[in-house]
Structure 1
């Protein structure tokens, strides 16, 4: 099929107009406002250089938000900016991929101001640079809680020393 120059120009203009219209619509989409008043507390039960385990408690003081009540690690609750205590370099860990089905309606937890929800969490921290994967005797970073579809609900700086060598 042979196209004339005017037809080709019209086709290019039409596809360009369609592209700019769709991206313009995306640019005008409202961005969610940051959540206010989310609180997180964390209590360590075990850190052996490979796995960090503990209990997280999440509360709301201002905004209401919804959590995946299963508290899946790296989705609803994650560790970010993990480094050896007192050092600026971020640690490099093996990532463990998990695929979860979406939560059922009965697994969603809505936290209103004054309400709390908690559960056990476990984070694999297998150091890529160590032969046996055992990491630093002390790590620090941020425990981040994400509200479903609303972004970060709470961020808590943590510092954890190994519990198996005292």
Structure 2
């Protein structure tokens, strides 16, 4: 599965899924955290991206390792090419870890937001001339949402950066010669 697709090396074909889904997850994470009115509409899209992006990142990494083994089996790899591939692999590994972290933190943020929306739906209207004090659980949930929201933003940034760095390093290898 990770070596060839219809006789072609799988890695150059499979990386395109990561190039699409990782930035979409990062972008959706930023929008989901910063634009609360859109959350209810895009929750399922965000859930699907949080599940798909780590999988396609892992598949791209595995296919890259098979591609490198295939290249090595044809003879001795020049040291400058091996160094470029190591940089590409290092970026890809970092991307995978940041994307996995982003997916987990995103799912936790979504769960906290869903709990907040359920809790808000159960609170009735405020009594005449008064306000309803937020229960301690609601304050704790809001603090956790802020912490996880910041984590989503940071991890989205790192995921986006490393998908760029990984793709750039791979493209330079492909286009500037083996």
TM-score by length of 2: 0.17
Q: Which protein is richer in strand relative to its size?
A: 1
Point out the structure with max Rg over C-alpha: 1
Q: Which protein is richer in helix relative to its size?
A: 2
